[in-house]
């Protein structure tokens, strides 16, 4: 149990286009989902925290107009990178925190590799 | 505020040798502590966690960690390294608050030599 999926696993896009990444909790309801960014050989950097039905909370230095987060249901959160540029190329990882039970843990998706040309 | 320090960004051991990955934390409240492993181009997999109770925690793949409050440490060990243990390891701390927000250490890359 407690599986989180991400789609797509890899995406290559042209500079200036927008890319949407989906994060789904497959077998539990998630009150909170997190979006992380990871540069090569570095740790995870928290970008934002989203709660179902409310606006995401962005970490300092993360542009909310560039990284749009929608947590429309208890099993789905999306991250849209708008007007992507090469510097946005990174590994994006989501995680989800269950609504009930297992309430000390986040469950991580497999990540999405974004390459902007 | 919480923070996590992983001493040694790279650790190299021989196959069959002891693995010791160090993690120190700071937290103003009793912490929840986690170790995750990440293989290339993959997400994070939970190895083990400490919440309350027994301070020696056993995880998957033969790993264990001991919570030492007096030393604010949560070091990860494995008696005998296997080639498949080569990966990136992250220590993380949570205050157990809303959403269980995690603060990660910088990570330690474990290399296993044949």
Mean pLDDT of chain A: 91
Per-residue pLDDT at B31: 87
Per-residue pLDDT at B9: 93
Residues near B84 by beta carbon (within 8 Å), at least 6 away in sequence: none
Chain A: closest CA distance from residue B30 (Å): 13
CB A64 within 8 A of CB A49: no
* Average confidence (pLDDT) over B17-24: 98
* CB contact (8 A) between residue B100 and residue A97: yes
Is the pLDDT at A3 greater than 70? The verdict is yes
Touching check for B41 and chain A: CB below 8 Å? yes
Is the pLDDT at A57 greater than 80? The verdict is yes
* Average confidence (pLDDT) over B24-43: 90
Task: Select the more confidently predicted residue: A110 or B95.
Answer: A110
Touching check for A98 and chain B: CB below 8 Å? no
Residues near A94 by beta carbon (within 8 Å), at least 6 away in sequence: A4, A6, A21, A23, A33, A34, A35, A36, A77, A79, A108, A109
* Average confidence (pLDDT) over B10-33: 93
CB B8 within 8 A of CB B109: no
Model confidence at B89, pLDDT cuts 50, 70, 90, reads very high
* CB contact (8 A) between residue A103 and residue B100: yes
Task: Select the more confidently predicted residue: A99 or B50.
Answer: B50
Nearest to A45 by CA among A110, A8, A93, A6: A93
Structure tokens at A79: 């991250």
* CB contact (8 A) between residue B43 and residue A103: no
Which phi-psi region, left, alpha or beta, contains residue B113 (left: φ > 0; alpha: ψ -120 to 50)?
Answer: beta
**What is the H or E stretch that residue B37 is in?**
strand B32-38
Determine how many CB atoms are found less than 10 A away from the CB of residue A115: 14
- By mean pLDDT, which of A24-33, A47-56, A94-103, B53-62 is the weakest? A94-103
Touching check for B34 and chain A: CB below 8 Å? yes
Is the pLDDT at A104 greater than 80? The verdict is no
CA–CA gap between residue B61 and residue B85 (Å, rounded): 8
């Amino acid at each position: 149990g407690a599986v989180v999926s991400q789609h797509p696993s890899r995406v290559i896009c042209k500079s200036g286009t927008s890319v949407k990444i989906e994060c789904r909790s497959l077998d539990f309801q998630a009150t909170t989902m997190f979006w992380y960014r990871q540069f090569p050989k570095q740790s995870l950097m928290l970008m934002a925290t989203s709660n179902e039905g409310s606006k995401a909370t962005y970490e300092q230095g993360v542009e909310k107009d560039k990284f749009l987060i929608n947590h429309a249901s208890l099993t789905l959160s999306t991250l849209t990178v708008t007007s992507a540029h090469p510097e946005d190329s990174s590994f994006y990882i989501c995680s989800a925190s269950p609504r009930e039970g297992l309430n000390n843990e986040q469950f991580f998706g497999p990540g999405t590799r974004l390459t902007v040309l | 505020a919480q923070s996590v320090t992983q001493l040694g960004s790279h650790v190299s051991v021989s196959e069959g040798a002891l693995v010791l990955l160090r993690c120190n934390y700071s937290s103003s409240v009793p912490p929840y502590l986690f170790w995750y492993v990440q293989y290339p181009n993959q997400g994070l997999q939970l190895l083990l966690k400490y919440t309350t109770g027994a301070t020696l925690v056993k995880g998957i793949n033969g790993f264990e960690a001991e919570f030492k409050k007096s030393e604010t440490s949560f070091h990860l060990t494995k008696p005998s390294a296997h080639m498949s243990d080569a990966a990136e390891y992250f220590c993380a701390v949570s205050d157990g608050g809303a959403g269980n927000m995690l603060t990660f250490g910088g990570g330690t890359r474990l290399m296993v030599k044949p």
